[in-house]
Structure 1
Amino acid sequence: MLSGSVAVAEPSVNDEPPLRVEQLQRCGNLLQMDTQEFCLYVSGLDSNDFQVKLNGTPLPAEDLTYHDDRVRVRINKADAESGPLWFEQNNQSSNPVWISLKGSHVVAATDREVAKNMDDITTYVDLVSLIIEESHDGAQEAQRLAAKYDAEVVGMIPPLNTYQLRLPAKNLNERDALVLRLGNEVSVDAVVIEESGAEESIERETTTPPDAEDDQEWAANRFLDAVNYYQRRLSSQGHVEDIETQPIRIGVIEREVDFDAPDFADYLGECRADAHRTCVYARDAAKPDGHGTTVTGVFAAAWNEGGNSGFLRGLDDVGPGFDVIVDRNSDAGITANIAASVNLVEDGVRVLNWSWGIHRVGAIDINGEEIDSLVRSGIAMSGYEELLEEFFLWLREEHPDVVVVNSAGNASSFSGSDEYRLPSSFVTDQLFVVGGHERSDEDVQVDDPRYVVKRNASNIDMRVDITAAACVRGSSLVEGEQGEAHCGTSYATPLVASLLAAMMSIEPELTPAQLRMLLRRSAMTIGEEYDFEPTDADDLTAPILPSERANELNHPDIGLSARLDMYKALDLTVQSLDRDR
């Protein structure tokens, strides 16, 4: 049966069930780098002749083990590179999933390995991660500590000197005692305690979507104007000569995408046979309205199918070939998000989309009320903060050209203080924070600040770099059917991330600081002027500065908050090429 039990999506009795890779995890010895094993659950597969292809090359039959829809794949790292893997059988091709051979992986707890802490938050009982001081060999030191405390090393993020241990703890009292002792080890920088259920590390918003039409929502960011500009100016008949766009890889930290939806139905099999098209690599979802499908749709959904419409997909005719890689590593919460991000960056990703975030227990919103969703305890937040700090330090030192685009959050709170929210509170050129807006009732031109208003749930403050449309149509299983509206900063974030990828494709040498400058210089405005004075509940983004308006002190945009202008950002990117010549 097709994923998602919708009558019109059922195959006829004569149809074969579609091939779908639904699960993918590292298995076997997770610490082994030379030969890595991956376990996949594949629906619609039988034991007769099938092929598994990695980067278009069939894997040897002796490296495959099949049992009850489950396939174990062994890959020799010396003979292969990270890339898309898919199945072929009976003239069918599955959805391609991304296999990273970089080796960072952490283990998720089962239902029997979690408990409720004093804050009534689900927390891991026997799995913790140690951030080892950089002066030590992380792998050796983790093994030494594991032997000392009768633990076992079960996961790792080597570039961050972080190793996951399974402790001999049966309850939270035993765990906390061991965490205290481990934290006092000279070689341990921090202990990361994971607090998350399988579905709780994504942004979500429960308020009702507005009635405004989608073209008005994305018109607020000149979405179609930007697509038209890229197609017109960068085509062979365009007015700009000697621009050779470069392919860009985007990493989307989400769980899965529904390939049964018309929005994604043509991404099956070997996508990269066409060098110019956008490609999507992801596990298959059971239904089309999931968070990952909607977020990925903003990048890559097919046009005119009734659901979403992806920005990068709209550039296919003249684009360089964007890779959209959807992966969350495992269900091990924030630690897994970081492990996946490290792998993807090492696999060549230039833009990471983080449509997720968490708040500290006791954080308050702009009305002084306590936040009750996506909260974590103080001890967990301290560990996450250390892990994120290690990630951004590594990014700055080893991959200074990579940008991370993060949702501001949907708690009507503040995005810029680590007492309230992670990861948006980090201050680094490589982290972009995106708030959300929606269409107002005002009958004004699109560049008027009153054309949109802040979405009530969107987090705010001067750490937010820019706002973008928060509402988008989700995917549907029915061709031509308009999907339900989904709203939140999760969906504003990929608008900015996809634009940054398009800008990089025009000028790959742009630094994160230059990208932010182009975004802010091109921005339209939203909100009222506050003369640079922080006003509680009113500073939607960092105010636009005179330096972002050609040093015109009397420019009307000065002091207002910034709203994404996708068209103008592309235009300024092309203009920057002219200045460099």
Structure 2
Amino acid sequence: MKRPFLSLCKSLPAFLLAALPLGVSAAEPIRIQQLQRCGDLLETQEQTFCLRVKGLQSGDWQARLNGEPLSPERLSGKGQMLQLQLDTKGKQSGPLVLEQQGQQSNPVWLSLGSSHVVAANDDEVAKNMDGLTSYVDLISVVIEENYDGAKEAKRLAEKYGAKVVGMIPPLNTYQLRLAAKNLDERDATVLRLGGEVSVDAVVIEESGAEKSIEDDPDKAPPADNEEWASNRFLDAVNFYQRRLQRENGGVKTHPVRIGVIERDVDFDTPDFADYIGDDCRTNSKRLCLYARDADKPSAHGTTVSGILAAAWDKSGNSGFLRGLDNVGPGFDVIVARDSDAGITANVAASVNLVEDGVRVLNWSWGIHRIGAIDVNGDPIDSLVRSGIAMSGYEELLEEFFLWLREEHPNVVVVNSAGNGSSFSGRDEYRLPSSFVTDQLFVVGGHQRSEKDVPVEDAQYATKRKASNIDMRVDITAAACVHTSTAKPDEKGEVHCGTSYATPLVAGLLAAMLSINPELEPDQLRMLLRRSAMTIGEEYDFEPTEGDDLTAPILPSERANELNNPDVGHSARLDMYKALDLTVQSLNRVR
């Protein structure tokens, strides 16, 4: 029997339940601003979704999933709050679009995956001793792999007077709502749970209004063509278009799905206006974008996604993968986040996206441990978490990468190195960039130098002072970009940070995989490093110090030439050369 709509939505964050005025102007476009699982998150067959929508008028409306209309009796709600109930049997994850009187909404990716967690409301968080906002009664337990996770989580919940409210089954991780009324009670229960033989780790969330942006305190230089020229952006687009469209001897391309862990994208900007509706895939060579709608064109998710998918010559941004339209295979860019439940939600969304066929994940986020210091010995005060929270996150992320290696060995995750002027590869300082696995690519940030030298010269670009560094950083890319704008031909603000260098690498990896989908993560890394230009001075393989931006280029990455001038320098992304080497890889015996 169906539960009432309001009771189903009680588990949603307070901001999602805030209804807007019903008198919406007829001219206002239909926009899906939130889409989250609600009701019983443990139910996998009959799933319920709650939506916050603006622009719907009174009267009939229709919802389509993967282009197929949903039965009207499965739809309910009024005003801005809607509810969908889906029987998942025979259905697949895909774009959800609302339509009314000929108007269509932005397409949002609706995942039928089983991994979902609940975010805390404002009255369910408190400040801990470190002054960080922490969840009072919501924690997650990572169950040892030799236990039935669901059964054991239920047993633990009964023992401690808790309730299982969320889960990430592939990682044997289950979210519990404790009976705790304050942080002291929570910590006492966490201590007892941590002593259970079946519990590998307990994850506590330190997230209020979770910020996905990584603040870069450096002054932003003007972003112009010279920033992306330092990575041969336009040369790469030209090469892909020219090399792959030849009638004779052309290269067959293959569809690639990219997941971007961000909140939303502003579809009212010229950069994204032509993604509205669900007819994108009628053109097999067109890039398609699926995301919740944002209110601000300069928001983090819009800018990160724009580096991949923004329309060209409209405003602000020009997406790399969008530039490959008409020649490319039809890329899918899915912008999604399970909820606002911090790092746990990022991981849950990533699991669902991988199960939905994503080959490249863009993680333009990361956290530092309290007490981490920068290269000058000063403490880092941005995106910090307590030691106990970091320990839980580390175990959860470790489970994620173990799962990737065992079940999805060809999926790659591209992560920003961070903007703390610190060490990206030290797990006592930074997550997730400190993990050592072939499937994780770590990206630092650089900007155009003031030197008048050729693009190939190591001095053409200089590292961003704020960019995290060390041997764990695989490559560096341009960190500064214009944001999208509300009006055509208007120049956006300049934002800088490793968050914006990361999608340049993620987009390039997707393009490489579209050319040769057989490439494995270690081969992709090899091609990135072999094609890389240099940046900075030579450091002769000394222990990592403050001036090392990435792992130094090795002789093996330069055809075993010990005297190659690139050897010992840090690596700077060369998008053109990487695509060239990828095409060449098709002719080699694997």
TM > 0.5: yes
Cα shift at 1:206: 3.4
Whether 1:162 and 2:173 are equivalent positions in the alignment is yes
Letter in 2 for 1:47: S
Q: Give 1:564's aligned residue.
A: 573
- Alpha-carbon contact 1:233-1:240 (below 8 Å) kept: no
Whether 1:223 and 2:241 are equivalent positions in the alignment is no
| Secondary structure class of the residue paired with 1:464 | coil
Instruction: Find the partner of 1:192 among 171, 188, 203.
Output: 203
Please give the per-residue CA displacement for 1:250-307, whole angstroms capped at 9, x wherever unaligned: 0000000000000000001112121111111000001100000000000000000121
Instruction: Find the partner of 2:273 among 265, 273, 286.
Output: 265
Please give the per-residue CA displacement for 1:24-63, whole angstroms capped at 9, x wherever unaligned: 1101111000010100011001231211000000000000
More divergent stretch after superposition (282-291 vs 66-75): 66-75
| Secondary structure class of the residue paired with 1:164 | strand
Q: Give 1:149's aligned residue.
A: 160
Q: Give 2:4's aligned residue.
A: none
Instruction: Find the partner of 2:142 among 118, 131, 154.
Output: 131
| CA RMSD, Structure 1 to Structure 2 (Å) | 1.1
- Distance of 1:200 and 1:324 partners within structure 2: 21
Q: Give 2:105's aligned residue.
A: 94
Whether 1:249 and 2:279 are equivalent positions in the alignment is no
| Secondary structure class of the residue paired with 2:96 | strand
- Distance of 1:129 and 1:15 partners within structure 2: 44
- Distance of 1:24 and 1:14 partners within structure 2: 22
Q: Give 1:32's aligned residue.
A: 43
Q: Give 1:492's aligned residue.
A: 501
Cα shift at 1:535: 4.3
Instruction: Find the partner of 1:202 among 202, 206, 213.
Output: 213
- Distance of 1:117 and 1:222 partners within structure 2: 47
- Distance of 2:213 and 2:171 partners within structure 1: 23
Please give the per-residue CA displacement for 1:40-89, whole angstroms capped at 9, x wherever unaligned: 01100123121100000000000000222211001111131000001111
Instruction: Find the partner of 1:550 among 547, 552, 559.
Output: 559
Instruction: Find the partner of 1:439 among 448, 451, 471.
Output: 448
Whether 1:114 and 2:125 are equivalent positions in the alignment is yes
Instruction: Find the partner of 1:404 among 413, 425, 448.
Output: 413
| Secondary structure class of the residue paired with 2:344 | helix
Please give the per-residue CA displacement for 1:95-150, whole angstroms capped at 9, x wherever unaligned: 00001101100000011011111111110000000000011100010001101111
Matching of residues 285-324 of structure 1 within 5 Å:
285-324=294-333
- Alpha-carbon contact 1:444-1:451 (below 8 Å) kept: yes
| Secondary structure class of the residue paired with 1:390 | helix
Q: Give 2:351's aligned residue.
A: 342
Q: Give 2:541's aligned residue.
A: 532
- Alpha-carbon contact 1:201-1:358 (below 8 Å) kept: no
Letter in 1 for 2:193: L
Q: How many residues align?
A: 566
Whether 1:19 and 2:30 are equivalent positions in the alignment is yes
Q: Give 1:8's aligned residue.
A: none
- Alpha-carbon contact 1:26-1:105 (below 8 Å) kept: yes
- Distance of 2:36 and 2:581 partners within structure 1: 42
- Distance of 1:202 and 1:77 partners within structure 2: 34
Please give the per-residue CA displacement for 1:139-168, whole angstroms capped at 9, x wherever unaligned: 010001101111000000000000000000
- Alpha-carbon contact 1:414-1:461 (below 8 Å) kept: yes
- Alpha-carbon contact 2:218-2:464 (below 8 Å) kept: no
TM-score (normalizing by structure 1): 0.96
Letter in 1 for 2:226: Q
Whether 1:389 and 2:398 are equivalent positions in the alignment is yes
- Distance of 1:508 and 1:79 partners within structure 2: 28
- Alpha-carbon contact 1:279-1:323 (below 8 Å) kept: yes
Matching of residues 447-526 of structure 1 within 5 Å:
447-526=456-535
Q: Give 1:7's aligned residue.
A: none
- Distance of 1:468 and 1:496 partners within structure 2: 7
Letter in 2 for 1:226: A
Instruction: Find the partner of 1:60 among 56, 71, 93.
Output: 71
Instruction: Find the partner of 2:283 among 261, 268, 274.
Output: 274
Letter in 1 for 2:424: S
Q: Give 2:11's aligned residue.
A: none
| Secondary structure class of the residue paired with 2:359 | strand
Q: Give 1:235's aligned residue.
A: 245
- Alpha-carbon contact 1:202-1:357 (below 8 Å) kept: no
| Secondary structure class of the residue paired with 1:229 | helix
- Alpha-carbon contact 2:553-2:566 (below 8 Å) kept: yes
- Distance of 1:200 and 1:240 partners within structure 2: 48
- Distance of 1:322 and 1:284 partners within structure 2: 20
| Secondary structure class of the residue paired with 1:457 | coil
- Distance of 1:380 and 1:14 partners within structure 2: 45
| Secondary structure class of the residue paired with 2:579 | helix
More divergent stretch after superposition (511-520 vs 46-55): 46-55
Please give the per-residue CA displacement for 1:483-530, whole angstroms capped at 9, x wherever unaligned: 111100000000000000000000001000000000000000000001
- Alpha-carbon contact 2:317-2:484 (below 8 Å) kept: yes
Cα distance change on mapping 1:236 and 1:56 into 2, 3 Å: farther
TM-score (normalizing by structure 2): 0.95
Where do 5+ consecutive residues of structure 1 fail to align? 1-12
| Secondary structure class of the residue paired with 1:191 | strand
Whether 1:214 and 2:217 are equivalent positions in the alignment is no
- Alpha-carbon contact 2:207-2:342 (below 8 Å) kept: yes
- Distance of 2:46 and 2:489 partners within structure 1: 45
Q: Give 1:413's aligned residue.
A: 422
